[in-house]
Amino acid sequence: MSGPHLRVDWTRCDGHGLCAPMWPERISLDEWGFPVVAPEPLDDDELPFARRTTGVCPKLALWIDEGR
Amino acid sequence: MSSLPRTSLERRPTAGAEAPIPAVHVLGTARLLAGATGSSAVGYAEHLALPGTLPQWRLDTLIAATRTVGLLGRGGAAFPVAIKLASLRTGRHNRVLVNGSESEPASWKDRTLMRCAPHRVLDGAILVAHALGTRKITIAVHDVVSARVLQAAVRERVDARRIRVAISDGGFVAGEVQALVNGLAGRPPVPNGRRTLPVDKGLDGRPTFASNVETFAQLGVLARLGPGGFRGAGSPEEPGTTLVTLVGDVPRAGVAEIPTGTPLRALVGASSSPVLLGGYHGTWVNDLDLYLDRPELRAHGISLGAGVLAVLPHDTCPVGEVARVARWLSLESAGQCGPCIFGLASIADDLERLTAGRPVDLSRLHRRLGLVEGRGACSHPDGASRFVATALQAFAEHVERHGDRRPCGLPVRGVLPLPRGGAR
């Protein structure tokens, strides 16, 4: 659980699918159009791009869990 | 100030929840169910005559005792009680939430406990509230019979006057603790999108010690017997007793109090059929040489969950039984999370096709079972996936009989209980 993670608030996500083409190395879509996010923590140098990616989600469902 | 007991019945009960309890058995020493006949509740006078007296422990004493006996939560997650208690600080702001909603359709142990031994539950709630320096106790149940028994028990004792018994609506997922907290606050009884723990923010937005009714009853027993006395039954790893619900083709169907560490074979008899352990979020196992002790089962990757043990008789189609439960699980989704809504429905579709002998892409079914895991606000999709995936494995030979695009010929009798007779 250590380190920041890209997470989905599943109660908000409606499967708009804008996140996957933004960062295909980390996010793909399942057969119903919902994101499958790679489980590995985010490296420090990935954080700026992770923030840009969360910014495209129209439902603010994609978020960065800073970890505790 | 009114002198009436501060107990309130709130909201309408869940339909069909008034059924009588099943048969009650005790293997070894009766603790939680000591003095229980199954037909009426153990009264306060009778309860007081049972071994030990209820002490008033400080929080550090309570934490030390729960750590000594390795007490684990009895709602399904088996979280260590000592760790949960240690994350709270004493103060009047604290809340105590006793979860008696028992939303697992095959389980009867919590309602049996509340109806037969309500003072065991109250003992634990009062013990914890005192240690936490609060008097705010809520017992949440889904059925009116348990609520009435608890209310009558509350009126029998002066130390229980401030206990609130709340009846809440809701299906399977509404018993999940975040959903329960939301429901009690008048919000929709569904899990939160971002996980919050009750110890941080529970009832009234305050730090809350929330656990299953059986956990509280075990805490009451622990306080009355002391850690040394408590260790006098059960396994060294997880001393004491536990409640289980035995379903289907078993020698003694009903609710049983058993010492922890009891061999699985002692409960399922000579059968060599797979056994469902835990409930509809549980695991089907073929290995019957298991001992029912949570740390031991965890070492095998198995959870005792809500304590349901089920065996299917040979005259029902296991694929059809599993399909029926899978459909119900998909309909019980709170409908918040896409992978759960679409994933569980697709899985149920596949299983119904398999039951009927229509073509099914089994590799796609297995992929779908993997896809729903960890992708919801609560663990409902994970549990449903585990139930189906382990069933396909445990009944692999029978599944092959459906692989020739033909049904197996056995009827689907509906041995695995569902509320209101099933999904359709």
- In tens digits, chain B (424 residues) has pLDDT values of 333 333 333 333 344 455 677 899 999 989 999 998 877 899 999 999 999 999 999 999 999 999 999 999 999 889 999 999 999 999 999 999 999 999 899 999 999 999 999 999 999 999 999 999 999 999 999 999 999 999 999 999 999 988 999 998 777 787 788 889 999 988 888 888 887 899 999 999 999 999 999 999 999 999 999 999 999 999 999 999 999 999 999 999 999 999 999 999 999 988 889 999 999 999 999 999 999 999 999 999 999 999 999 999 999 999 999 999 999 999 999 999 999 999 999 999 999 999 999 999 999 999 999 999 999 998 999 999 999 999 999 999 999 999 777 889 999 999 999 986 454 3
Tokens for B94, please give them: 């604290």
Handedness of CA B215, B218, B222, B223 (dihedral sign): positive
- The percent of residues in chain A predicted with pLDDT above 70, rounded, is 97
Regarding an ipTM greater than 0.95, the answer is no
CA-to-CA distance for B120 and B143, rounded, in angstroms? 19
pLDDT of residue B404: 72
Q: How far B151 CA sits from the closest chain A CA (Å)?
A: 36
Q: Is residue B239 classed as helix, strand or coil in its secondary structure? A: strand
Closest residue, chain A, to B194 (C-alpha)? A9
Residue A1 banded pLDDT, cuts 50, 70, 90: low
**Cβ pairs A/B, distance under 8 A:** 44
Q: Of the candidates B336, B346, B368, which has its C-beta nearest A11's C-beta? A: B336
- Chain A hits for B194, CB-CB cut-off 8 Å, are 9, 63
pLDDT of residue B196: 84
Across B244-270, b (16+ Cβ under 10 Å) vs e yields bbbbbbbeebbbbbbbbbbebeebbee
Alpha carbon separation from B32 to B2, B146, B267, B362 (Å, rounded) = 33, 16, 19, 45
Paired with A8 in beta bridges are A62
**CB contact, 8 Å: B336 with chain A?**
yes
**CB contact, 8 Å: B192 with chain A?**
yes
Kindly give the residue spans of alpha helices, DSSP state H, lying in B72-203: 81-86, 109-116, 118-132, 144-156, 177-184
CB-based contact B192 A33, cutoff 8 Å: no
- Chain A hits for B377, CB-CB cut-off 8 Å, are 9-11
pLDDT of residue B231: 96
pLDDT of residue B423: 46
CB-based contact B377 A10, cutoff 8 Å: yes
